[in-house]
Amino acid sequence: MSSYRYLFCISYHGYALAGSQKQPDQNTVYGLIEQSLQNLFKQPIACIPCGRTDAGVHAEQSYCHCDFSFAFEPAMVIASLNAALNPYGIQVKHIQAVSNDFHSLSSAFSRTYQYFFTVDNHLPNYLLHSVSMMNHPLLFIPTDDELSFLLNGQRNFFTLSNRGSDSKSTIRRIDSIALSDKTYHSLFDSSFKIYCFEITANGFLYKMVRHIVGILLHSMMNFTNMSRLYDYLIVNRPLVYSLAPVQGLHLTDVNYNNDTKVVKS
């Protein structure tokens, strides 16, 4: 019997969702997508995601693939799925046919997360679950060169992750890390500055991004330079910090090799 594999590009706002992975009696990203596919096609359809995110984490661009015993017109399916999924904060951005050799998880060679935060306490209420608000001024801003020197490359990120992951190795490679800022103009004509950490790596351990951003924010709000971070990461000097709040974390890209011919939105 013929099999047709389709790649779904999706985005979602994670505030009201119990994460991306399907769980009993919980509204999750892929649980809701699978239910909507079953309602549409009158048969169970399994989603194979590019990874998983925790409750409260958002995605601007994430992927899953699904196998079907028939071909279909993506435009009509997208419209039907979004009618069911949009009320939950989930959007199917596009669907495309891919080779049966493509795998949304194992074919990915890197992922990019962005973490948004501000120190402006006039953050609009509609962004309170999308941008983290820091209640302490920043004492310094690290340069991209300083961040790259400290974190880029392959290393053991065991101390910058939570235990409980099913990963066999805690070695990961960060390809790039940068900090930027921009002026955000709200719907109600106010303006304020939002900062963004962007991190691209070949993979991430459980809560690794929130550990990295958490220790960076702790340093920026309590010290005047990067020296304590150097001590912690290079000399192994203890440093107490908190995880970065979940609401600022967004999965923004999943990169596949050229052979898969994935077209980005």
- What is the rounded distance in angstroms from the CA atom of residue 212 to the CA atom of residue 248? 13
Is 264 within a domain? no
- What is the rounded distance in angstroms from the CA atom of residue 236 to the CA atom of residue 232? 5
pLDDT tens digits for range 190-229 = 999 999 999 999 999 999 999 999 999 999 999 999 998 8
> What is the pTM assigned to this prediction?
0.94
Is 261 within a domain? no
Note whether 36 and 118 are same-domain residues.
no
- What is the rounded distance in angstroms from the CA atom of residue 226 to the CA atom of residue 144? 12
Note whether 216 and 170 are same-domain residues.
yes
Spatial CB neighbours of 231, under 8 Å, sequence gap ≥ 6: 237, 239
Residue 264 has a pLDDT of 42
Is 265 within a domain? no
Residue 102 has a pLDDT of 94
Residue 238 has a pLDDT of 79
Residue 167 has a pLDDT of 74
The tally of domains found in the chain comes to 2
Containing structural domain, residue 11:
4-106
CATH number, position 162: 3.30.70.660
* 78, two tokens: 């997208």
Is 196 within a domain? yes
Note whether 244 and 214 are same-domain residues.
yes
Note whether 31 and 117 are same-domain residues.
no
CATH number, position 41: 3.30.70.580
Place of tokens 């899953």: 64
Query: Per-residue pLDDT averaged across 132-152, rounded?
Result: 96
Is 260 within a domain? no
Query: Per-residue pLDDT averaged across 111-134, rounded?
Result: 96
Model confidence at 258, in pLDDT bands (50, 70, 90)? low
Residues 24-44, buried b or exposed e (16+ Cβ, 10 A)?
eeeebbbbbbbbbbeebeeee
Is 258 within a domain? no
pLDDT tens digits for range 61-92 = 999 999 999 999 999 999 999 999 999 999 99
Query: Per-residue pLDDT averaged across 50-69, rounded?
Result: 96
Note whether 129 and 43 are same-domain residues.
no
